[in-house]
Chain A
Amino acid sequence: SAVISQKPSRDICQRGTSLTIQCQVDSQVTMMFWYRQQPGQSLTLIATANQGSEATYESGFVIDKFPISRPNLTFSTLTVSNMSPEDSSIYLCSVGTWGDEQFFGPGTRLTVL
């Protein structure tokens, strides 16, 4: 299994600002995903981070709000832009390959005031 780290582990931000979350994997992986987990709820997929091309966003999520970069096979970033209190959530990255299991990072707990 892959070892995944995320930075920061938590942050408290002011409304209207942006936060960039980093996801680092200890090995090259085919697929990386970003999820949101709102308080007390399950996980919702935000987007698939594609290496060398634009991310593929799920319904309800747009690039202007959640820009994603994936410069190589071991690293990705998710930015939460122009934050509002509704963006307070845990943001998780995961990695996997087609037909294989996904492994999750520890998550970034974001609180927007």
Chain B
Amino acid sequence: TQLLEQSPQFLSIQEGENLTVYCNSSSVFSSLQWYRQEPGEGPVLLVTVVTGGEVKKLKRLTFQFGDARKDSSLHITAAQPGDTGLYLCAGEGSSNTGKLIFGQGTTLQVKP
């Protein structure tokens, strides 16, 4: 069974600080996605990484896919209160069924 371990599960920081969220597995994933979810809404896709070693940037957010495609990280620079939310990593397994396996999620609170 493929599992994704996401850490930390909770993070409370001050505006302007940097943070990194990690997503790790012992299994290889064909792709990995990062989502952000706000209360009362469904998850919204931020990025998909497909190639081992890939780095993608989305304004202050930097996403990296591990060389072996078993892990990923999300780094936020100079966090803002608007970044507050639940961050989820999700991987599509090698079985190519389209099914996603989700990490436990990271609840981020950025205080002004």
Binding site for B on A (CB under 8 A): 1, 4, 30-31, 33, 40-45, 48, 92, 94, 96-99, 101-107, 109
Contact = CB atoms under 8 A, between A and B. Distances in A.
A42 B45 contact: no
Given A43-B88, A44-B102, A99 B43 contact: no
Interface of B: 6, 30-31, 33, 35, 40-45, 48, 88, 90, 92, 96-105, 107
A101 B45 CA distance: 8
A31 B44 CA distance: 18
A97 B104 contact: no
Given A48-B98, A96-B98, A98-B96, A104 B104 contact: no
B42 A98 contact: no
Given A101-B33, A101-B48, A102-B33, A45 B41 contact: no
B100 A42 contact: no
Given A99-B30, A101-B48, 17 more contacts: A33-B99, A41-B105, A43-B102, A45-B99, A45-B100, A45-B101, A48-B99, A97-B98, A98-B98, A99-B98, A101-B33, A101-B45, A102-B33, A102-B90, A104-B42, A104-B44, A106-B42
A98 B30 CA distance: 11
A64 B106 CA distance: 33
